[in-house]
Amino acid sequence: MKARTVALACGSGAAMFLVVLLLLATLAGAASLADGVPTSQATQDIPPSYLSLYQAAAETCSGLPWSVLAAIGKVETNHGRLVAPGVTSGTNSAGAAGPMQMDVGVGPAGDAFWRVAVDGNADGRADPYDPADAIPTAAAYLCTALRDHGGDLAQAILAYNHAQWYVQKVLQIAQSYATAQSYATGEAAPLAAERPVAFAYAQLGTPYQWGGDGENGTFDCSGLTMMAWAAAGVTLPHNSAAQYASAGAHIPDPSQLLPGDLVYFAHDTSDPATVHHVGIYIGNGQMIEAPHTGALVRIANAFRADYIGATRPSK
């Protein structure tokens, strides 16, 4: 089912029909659930027992990178090392407890832990202070939030803690914890793509403006991808259809996409002339995009029903 409304085509300078999709389609269903391998920063910062718990818990939820789960553990309690009320006993002032600081029903924040509690170590009880239970329970909560928000990872993190600064901090830490690696094939992304991906992450939360290329603190879709690849010394046109036509080799198989690839969307997926939007792929079926007027640069599903293809820019 499709609905249509009139909007400016991103990066095209013309008024066009923008497809508003009510039905999402996943084109990479066979992709691995694991994201990038841990960086040296991750292995030095995360206790080994926690790292294995983050990775195992994330594998239970399609669309949840272990690095995001680990970044939440970092922000909340420094992976259980924080010395503060509510980490190993009791609660904080909001009623949150344990290494993942989930609400246990004794304060104003609610009872999120018990609503999705997981007995991760199968000892017969779910304990919010035991990382073996707390981490898979946090994953279960985030997985529910992912489903509730159509797979939007940033919105799922926002449901965990209702602050935009929190979302940005978690995503930035997550990026430092995992290498740029294909979620579908396990193949490492080209070194040239690391700077574009890092650039795109750094723009999360930046306002959308048609024609924006970062100079006035705004981006449109093709302005974001153009400047992201400019960070790697690659020149792209400021137009989504022109990028589709000229920005490197086309990648026909979505399962072969790597972080840094550009993903495109068209009003008619059989006609490249109708390309109206572009984002930068970050793996696990996700992209960073500057979506539309009134919105901010965000993480979103890369494989929508108007997906037409992808390219891999290169020097």
pLDDT in tens, 216-254: 999 999 999 999 999 889 999 999 999 999 999 999 999
pLDDT band at 20 (very low <50, low <70, confident <90, very high): very low
CATH of the domain spanning 2-30+188-312: 3.90.1720.10
Average predicted confidence (pLDDT) for the chain: 83
273: pLDDT confidence band, cut at 50, 70 and 90? very high
Where does the chain have alpha helices with state H?
40-45, 48-58, 66-77, 112-115, 131-148, 153-160, 164-177, 194-202, 221-230, 240-246
**pLDDT at residue 286, rounded to an integer:** 86
Alpha helices in 107-212 (DSSP H): 112-115, 131-148, 153-160, 164-177, 194-202
Residue 181, pLDDT score: 47
The one-letter code for the residue type at 10 is: C
- Phi/psi of residue 309, each to 5°? 160, -175
When pLDDT is averaged across residues 133-160 and rounded to a whole number, the result is 93
Q: What is the pLDDT of residue 190?
A: 54
Least confident of 106-115, 129-138, 178-187: 178-187
Q: Extract the tokens encoding 55.
A: 């990775």
pLDDT given at position 35: 54
Q: What is the mean pLDDT of residues 150-172?
A: 88
Beta bridge partners of 208: 219
pLDDT at residue 152 in the model = 84
Say what the pLDDT of residue 192 is. Answer: 65
pLDDT for position 199:
86
CA distance 220 to 278: 9
* Domain positions in the chain: 2-30+188-312, 40-177
pTM of the model: 0.56
Can you tell me the distance from the alpha carbon of 243 to that of 262, in angstroms, rounded to the nearest whole number?
Answer: 9
Give the confidence band of 6 by pLDDT, cuts at 50, 70, 90. Answer: very low
User: Could you give the C-alpha distances from 305 to 34, 254, 313, in angstroms and in order?
Assistant: 24, 13, 23
> Is 3.40.50.740 the CATH number for 40-177?
no
Residues 6+ apart with CB under 8 A from 48: none
* pLDDT above 90: residue 46: yes
For the ranges 8-17, 44-53, 236-245, the lowest mean pLDDT is seen at: 8-17
7 DSSP β-pair partners: 16
pLDDT digits (tens, 9 = 90+) for 115-133: 999 999 999 999 999 999 9
Q: What is the mean pLDDT of residues 308-313?
A: 96
Give the whole-angstrom CA distance, residue 272 versus residue 257. 19
Between 237 and 35, residue with greater pLDDT: 237
Quick one: which of 16, 27, 26, 24 has its CA closest to 276? Answer: 16
Q: Is the pLDDT of residue 10 over 70?
A: no
Stronger pLDDT, 14 or 199, i.e. the higher one = 199
